[in-house]
Amino acid sequence: MKAQSIILTLSMACAIVSCSTEEVAEPDRIQLVDPRDPAGPDAVNIDFSSWKVTLPVDKNNDNKPDEYMPSQLKDGKYRNLAALEDFMYDDDDNQGIIFHTYYGGSTTANSSFPRTELRELINPSNSRENWNLASGGVLKIRTQVIDVSNNTYTGSLDKDRFIMAQIHGIINPADVQRLGLSSDAAPPLLKMQWRDGEMYAYKKTLKDDNTTGDDLYSKSDDIWGDISFNFGTVGYDPFDIEIRASAARIDVTVNGVSHTFQDVSLDKWKFDSYFKAGVYLQSTDPAAFATVKIHSLEVTH
């Protein structure tokens, strides 16, 4: 019995010596996750402190599209809004935010097309405070088309078309009052439209360069038309858009291809402006839809 005890003791001693001479494996490192951030540390981080979003639905039955303000979106709060689940949400790869829209829902007062679209608010508490070309602004966006419906309704395109970024016009409050207008609605100055995999810029231009005075505040198609530029194929891969707006000039770059708009119409542009980004469908086909992903979004003034 005593001999057995001695043998067991020696065996344990040998085991201890043997273990002490072996290299101890380093434990796996665990990345801590902030419980307040359901998307985790690798999620895309876009600053929504100066953006609201418009949805293609009217769930609160106020006869206009539902909107969510910067205070409801910023700091990841959009992830906790059930109303956004079908329209604006993190992609599974955490590399971008999905924006989805479809026809048949609610539209804004001046359009028959639906959108899931961000609208810039340089003052989150006052949508009538905007910028003008003299003060300028820069929009940088990395975006991507995920899916879009087939065009079976009208025209020759294979796929339905949609707008991914804009500079939109708005009449400033002083001019609304001076002209006795009931609305501050103005035409979009620049639209970046996806058409069968190619990216087009459409810029508003005067049909008559001699137009002057209060006629410049009209949004009528009799006053304003469009000129365009084709930046080529972007397809379904991520791509970059940079828009630089300044006095009487707009510089647009898509994936390294640049084009400058500079004409009399820009010199005479009387409206204030704001940026928009997301997906704005340009079809009234009941089956139409479009889905895009925004990887990054930045605005400076």
8 A C-beta contact, residue 250 and residue 243: yes
Per-residue confidence band for 16, with pLDDT thresholds at 50, 70 and 90? very low
pLDDT value at position 1?
Answer: 47
Mean pLDDT of 108-128: 95
pLDDT above 70: residue 9:
no
Q: Fold for domain 29-300?
A: Jelly Rolls (2.60.120)
Which of 19-28, 61-70, 240-249 has the least mean pLDDT? 19-28
8 A C-beta contact, residue 288 and residue 153: yes
Better-predicted residue by pLDDT, 155 or 134: 134
Per-residue confidence band for 269, with pLDDT thresholds at 50, 70 and 90? very high
pLDDT digits (tens, 9 = 90+) for 138-193: 999 999 999 999 999 888 999 999 999 999 999 999 999 999 999 999 999 999 99
Better-predicted residue by pLDDT, 217 or 20: 217
Q: What residue spans of the chain are helical by DSSP H? A: 2-21, 70-73, 173-179, 264-267
pLDDT value at position 25?
Answer: 52
pLDDT above 80: residue 18:
no
Q: The pTM is what? A: 0.86
DSSP-assigned beta bridge partners for residue 163 = 193, 280
Alpha carbons 117 and 102: distance in angstroms, whole number: 12
Mean pLDDT of 214-231: 98
Average pLDDT taken over every residue of the chain: 90
Mean pLDDT of 208-236: 98
Alpha carbons 135 and 245: distance in angstroms, whole number: 9
Checking DSSP bridges between strand 249-254 and strand 257-261, what pairing results, if any? Answer: antiparallel
pLDDT digits (tens, 9 = 90+) for 84-105: 999 999 999 989 999 999 998 7
Per-residue confidence band for 110, with pLDDT thresholds at 50, 70 and 90? confident
pLDDT above 60: residue 199:
yes
pLDDT digits (tens, 9 = 90+) for 248-267: 999 999 999 999 999 999 99
pLDDT digits (tens, 9 = 90+) for 277-291: 999 999 999 999 999
8 A C-beta contact, residue 248 and residue 266: yes
pLDDT value at position 105?
Answer: 79
Mean pLDDT of 66-89: 98
Checking DSSP bridges between strand 137-148 and strand 115-120, what pairing results, if any? Answer: unpaired
pLDDT above 70: residue 27:
no
